[in-house]
Structure 1
Amino acid sequence: MDDQQDVSRRTAEEQVPGFGSVEEARSSASRAYELDRKHVFHSWVAQGAFKPMVVTAAQGSHVWDGNGDRLLDFSSQLVNTNIGHQHPRVVAGIVEQAQRLATIAPHHVNDQRSEAARLIAERTPGDLDKVFFTNSGAEAVEHAIRMARVHTGRNKILSRYRSYHGATALAINVTGDPRRWANDRGTEGTTHFFGPFLYRSAFHATTEAEEEQRALQHLQQVIELEGPGTIAAIILETIPGGPGIIPPPPGYLRGVRELCDLHGIVMIADEVMCGFGRSGHWFAIDESGVAPDLLAFAKGVNSGYVPLGGVAISARVAETFEERPYPGGLTYSGHPLACAAAVATITAMADEGIVENARRIGETVLGPGLAEIAARHPCVGEARGRGVFWALELVTDATTREPLAPYAGTSAAMAEMMAECKRQGLLPLMVSNRIHCAPPCTITADEAREGLRILDEVLKIGDSYTV
């Protein structure tokens, strides 16, 4: 990675990639915004007051907005552009595949799906050597749960509070954050439990070791009271992302694995957000030394260049379907364009040391830098994360840990900080009372430092709201 890359904002003479001039880009953006507001129905928002930002172009770690201004993308959009924007090898892979075979039905073999499956299986932990491809992370979760239910002959699914697994009917029911509330009818056989989160411990723990032990005792009790023989699977985001980027204590996932083995429960790792380099490892679960029975992935597998997700399947679960048909399928499972993008992405990540770069940036720039920021700003209660996957927990009072915005809501302070971030050329992800820092795994050290410098300035707004 070239740490000398210029990270300044657009000068008056700079062109927007793909456009002849800034004026041309602005004209295109104006037309796009007009049509969007007239015809596009957006997710998770009330439509009337919504004023989305236009993105006209992207390159590397940057995007250009409708005014032609360049912003450092500290969100990786929805934490999925792991390889950065417009990586030439991925773009070339898609173009080449489109010229040769743009689409084919999933019951036929296509070489890109076969190669993508091989590359994924080589990197997944344990014996997860079979891959079922989906179009998204939510579908991956849906199918992982379906596999677990058929494999065990049981129905119930346990998942933790402070989690997000997708917005389809079953995936939203196993989700443990407020996006579930309006969609949950209590009919999907799901039960929630508390996972470890020391900063806001549900177990009155004061140390990470206590939090780990008490969280595992709580899960064991939930299993016993729900009835072990009724539980098909426990699904966990290896590192919960949307609800706050909450790395588990060192032995927690091993403890979950042992509980699953004890009771014949399938362990599903949801690596949709934290997989493919995001945590500084190919998969976040690698750090624990644990192998799940099923692993759901999407997002970073091809950085979202073409929609793709999937389930990596252990030999034990796969064996269930050797003689028994799997009751599910998708028209676009293993789509050639999506799989070609995955092949190009994974190959580039390996060749260019992108996973290692994510780990190095986390250890040498983001981790230390965010810790220094937390120490300087009274509004920062905690900085936590791995690799290029971090969150700042913002509070009005460091003693009471009162959030700077309500759970599942926002506040004037958060809105002001988001506006100032954009004004200074930074695009982070803000969720409730948190600022998520999740730049591409390809980000340079200089770019990461520039993002931290802007955050350091912006957090002065948050400080003004503290007691």
Structure 2
Amino acid sequence: MTEDADAEARRLDRAHVFHSWLAQRDLELPIVAGGEGSTVWDHAGNRMLDFSSQLVNVNIGHQHPAVVAAIQEQAAQLTTIGPPTANLTRGRAAERIVAKAPAGFRKVFFTNGGADANENAIRMARLHTGRDTVLSTYRSYHGNTGAAIVATGDWRRAPNQYARGHVHFFGPYLYRSEFWATTPEQESERALHHLRRVIQAEGPQTIAAILIESIPGTAGILLPPPGYLAGVRAIADEYGIVLIFDEVMAGFGRTGRWFAFEREDAVPDLITFAKGVNSGYVPVGGVLISEPIAATFDDRVFPGGLTYSGHPLAAASIVAALDAMESEGIVDHARHIGESAIGPGLRALAETHPLIGEVRGEGVFWAMELVADRATREPVGPDVIARLKGELTSRGLVPFAAENRIHVVPPCVVTEDEVARAMAIYDEALTSVESAL
């Protein structure tokens, strides 16, 4: 393929494709024709390091041969079948997922992605408790469907307020503490007190669920301080509230663990997942259901379903992806590369670049928070982020930007050499932007 194919791709995209979260006029989007591991390229062969994992989902890397082969083999056998059937591949996928979950989980409800996983988890919690209200944090993203977008805390919920019964609260974020905290312990204690007061003010008897990301991703890769997740679990137990952990972005290797909540002794009642479970090779998501909630529907119809729930191509990709991640030690590698390369590399950048206010993360799940002034922690404006994105892209790196942050989120299979190249690119791009400012 040649530059002519790139031109044709751009022409067709501009003419006919309507893109999410973007104003449509004059879009100049990167062209991706192929990929392997942590690298993508256009039709002309220009290669780029993918340190976005696209939308933080290509955990196993691009075009893993075992996953591609599993999809091809399943397509040759049976391309699709409806949910009201028993299918061996679907059953194996559910078995693999349950095997990674904590004790007490026995069922998986498959969805088409993360948003409808959260939709159905909310539905299960409401039916299980007979209550209506769902609590979620302001700094969060749970998807772009009815209840999921209203559960989301950021700006995107405002034009989409069509679902009932949602209340927001502040989660922990020590760098910009809402609680005047100066230590992680203070932040955890005060954030938990705030949550308890919100529950009491709303009326515990009205609250069906607390829905939180184990580690908020799009909102800034906000690692909860010690004791916070366990504290939320204890509060949920005290008031008979279902606890839902959204692991859509953080799950299946991203943090160097199978699930992000494993960093703390806190087990939820429902776990939502998507993205990393099969690295997005085929659209899929789901809800891991604890035994008490699953039993609610033993003799009661669950009023929900999707045409493509447990699609066999998606199921085959899950089986292959999880087996490969297990046999190749990919989750352990993600933890190691975060500890030995990404974390030290970002902290070294923070020492030399005044634009970086804080770096935080684990595994292959990191963020650089950029500030105009380290003393006041004033965030940089969108013009600075746009310029930095341009500098990174021109140097051969696919960035992930959100508000005043650059998220460093390569595939779990990224190598130390690739991390070193990326750190050099971040260094050059930051230097260029700082000199212009």
* Secondary structure class of the residue paired with 2:221: coil
Percent identity over the alignment is 56
Equivalent residue, structure 2, for 1:310: 286
Deviation at 1:465, TM superposition (A): 6.6
Instruction: After TM superposition, give the deviation of residue 462 of structure 1 in Å.
Output: 4.0
Residue number in structure 1 paired with 2:325: 349
Residue 145 of structure 2 is matched in structure 1 by: 168
Contact 1:113 1:336 in 2 (8 A): yes
Q: Please give the alpha-carbon distance, in whole angstroms, between the structure 1 residues aligned to 2:258 and 2:402.
A: 25
Unaligned runs of 5+ in 1: 1-23
User: Which letter maps to 1:91?
Assistant: V
Does residue 1:108 correspond to 2:79, yes or no?
no
What is residue 58 of structure 1 aligned with on the other side? 35
Q: Counterparts of 1:378-389 in structure 2 under 5 Å?
A: 378-389=354-365
Secondary structure (helix, strand or coil) at the match of 2:175 reads: helix
1:358 pairs with 2:329 = no
Paired with 2:71 and 2:2, the residues of 1 have a C-alpha distance of: 25
Secondary structure in structure 1 of the residue aligned to 2:29: coil
Q: Does 1:182 align with 2:159?
A: yes
Paired position in structure 2 for 1:442: 413
Query: What pairs with 1:61-460 in structure 2 (closer than 5 Å)?
Result: 61-65=38-42, 67-185=44-162, 187-405=163-381, 410-411=382-383, 413-460=384-431
CA contact (8 A) 1:156 1:191 kept: yes
Deviations 1:94-136 (A, max 9, x none): 0000000110011111111100101100101231221000000
Which is worse superposed, 456-465 or 175-184?
456-465
For 1:80, give the aligned amino acid: N
Cα distance, 1:460 vs structure 2: 1.3
Shift of 1:68: 2.8
Partners of 1:461 and 1:380 lie apart in 2 by 14
Asked whether the equivalents of residues 62 and 71 of structure 1 are also in contact (C-alpha less than 8 Å), the reply is: yes
**Alignment TM-score, normalising by the size of structure 1:** 0.92
Q: SS in structure 1 opposite 2:198? A: helix
Secondary structure of 1:55 counterpart: coil
Deviations for 1:300-344, whole angstroms, at most 9, x for unmatched residues?
010000000000000010010011111101110000000100000
Query: Number of residues paired by the alignment?
Result: 437
Return 5+ residue gaps in structure 2 as ranges: none
- 415-424 or 300-309, which moves further after superposition? 415-424
Taking the aligned partners of 1:238 and 1:465, their CA distance within structure 2 comes to 38
Aligned residue type for 2:386: A
| Inter-CA distance 465–234: structure 2 relative to 1 (3 Å threshold) | farther
RMSD over aligned Cα atoms:
1.1
Q: How many Å separate the matches in 2 of 1:384 and 1:461?
A: 23
